[in-house]
Amino acid sequence: MKLIVLCLVMTVFCGVISLNTWTDVPNQASVAHEYSKTPVADNAAARANADDKPLREAYRDYFPIGTAVSPSMIADAKRAKFIATQYSSITPMNGMKAKYIHPEEKTYSWAEADQAVDFAQKNNMKVRGHTLIWFQKMPDWFFMDGNDYASKEKIMQRIDEHVATVINRYKGKVYCWDVVNEAYQFFGSAPVTPKRAKIYDMIGSEYIERAFIAARKADPSAKLFYNDNGFEEPDRRNRIFKYLKAKKEMGIPIDGIGMQSHYGVEGINEGYLQETIDMFASIGLDVQVTELDVSIYPKRENKVGNGRVLEATEIAGLSDQYTKEIQQDQGDVFDIVFRTCRKMRGNVTGVTMWSPYDKDNYLTEMLNKKNYAYLFNENLTPKACYYRIVNF
């Protein structure tokens, strides 16, 4: 009897210990093993058990299922109907980025963003605004004052005006914004990489705080996200976590973290993914997967997922055959992501694919090599990986 009581006490104690409050980042040793694959059911059997329910219906009680869209996708009647049927949220791929929506100081180009928002409104879909401030897509005029460089004060003022103008146009129609995108290398007093950008060189990392403050002032009801990639690399993830934790403690209005999740076919460790979601949720952040795709080529040099990112030239020599083995490995990755997000609903408040289907996807264009990174093929037909994530 004493032995039984002792075992019960130890079980409770271990459970308490596991509720890590994340006052610091986790031990990186937790990701030093390869991800475990889930056995894949026969594709025919999976299809037989599926009722081909749309993604938005399958996940209605969990979180919005979204996709990035381009103007041509929602202008085409067949593709538009498909998108509206399968997805409950959309993200304009480029139409809300500063370079395109605000090309001149006194000129806004609303057509592409308006098209996406109108489409969502007509089809009972949510809209993720992407993105207000991203150093790679800022118009040149933003940093100029006539023929001279603009002062720090003037650039800050422009951030305020740009953020307020864009948000106010779509207030009540865009439920969340990627306020700042991919600023990881500018966190703190010194960049961690030699990559340079005008916005950092001219005003420092203060632009991040300024953008969030301006966004909250413009729309107190919208959820405000910081969006970035590479969370499968522990050092990068931990640096982002520490920075956002410090900013929230300062009162900067950051509501969520967007994990882009551009994976390779080697995937991600399931325990590590859950650990990462727990980390950010522990400091009061909503977690969303914002740009999900699973390339049929490896993204990194090892299966742990935190090795060196492979160059396009290294991938160029790989076969582009979409073999059954590749499809199975890809399905494993999708299964891990969606299973983990379902398990952590409430903390996870959305999952967005970066294309609704394989046709014309950016990975094919970027690598100059065919890729099949999504849940539906070029003919808008569900793939085996689709059946795995709707049958749960």
Q: Are 328 and 40 in contact (CB under 8 A)?
A: yes
pLDDT by residue, tens only, the chain of 392 residues: 444 444 443 443 344 333 344 656 655 434 433 333 443 444 444 454 445 789 999 999 999 999 999 999 999 999 999 999 999 999 999 999 999 999 999 999 999 999 999 999 999 999 999 999 999 999 999 999 999 999 999 999 999 999 999 999 999 999 999 999 999 988 865 555 545 678 888 888 899 999 999 999 999 999 999 999 999 989 899 999 999 999 999 999 999 999 999 999 998 899 999 999 999 999 999 999 999 999 999 988 776 566 778 888 888 889 999 999 999 999 999 999 999 999 999 999 999 999 999 998 999 988 889 999 999 999 999 999 999 999 99
Predicted pLDDT of residue 191: 53
Smallest Cα–Cα separation from 384: which of 325, 341, 342? Answer: 325
CATH topology of domain 59-182+208-297+319-390: TIM Barrel (3.20.20)
What secondary structure does DSSP assign to 58-79, as a single string? HTTTT--EEEEE-HHHHHSHHH
Tokens of 5: 């009581």
Looking at residue 296, its pLDDT comes to 96
Asked whether the beta carbons of 276 and 336 are under 8 A apart, the reply is no
Cα–Cα distance for residue pair 252/284, rounded to 1 Å: 13
How many Å apart are CA 197 and CA 107, to the nearest integer?
23
Angle among Cα 160, 347, 268 to the nearest 5 degrees reads 100
Rounded CA gap, 362 and 206, in Å?
31
C-alpha span between 7 and 13 (Å, rounded): 10
Whether 249 is catalytic is no
| Neighbour tally for 100: CB within 10 Å | 17
CA distance 382 to 358: 11
Q: What angle do CA 192, 196, 201 make, to 5 degrees?
A: 100
Q: For residues 23 and 202, what is the distance between their CA atoms, to the nearest angstrom?
A: 33
Selecting among 291, 311, 314, 325, the annotated active-site residue is: 291
User: Which residue in 378, 376, 362 sits closest to 52, CA to CA?
Assistant: 376
Peptide bond into 131 cis (omega under 30): yes
CB distance 256 to 285 below 8 Å: yes
Helix ranges (DSSP H) in the chain: 2-18, 43-49, 55-58, 71-75, 77-86, 98-101, 111-122, 152-169, 198-203, 206-218, 234-249, 270-281, 312-315, 324-343, 362-367, 384-390
Q: 80, 54, 55: which is closest to 65 by C-alpha?
A: 55
Whether 31 contacts 305, CB under 8 Å = yes
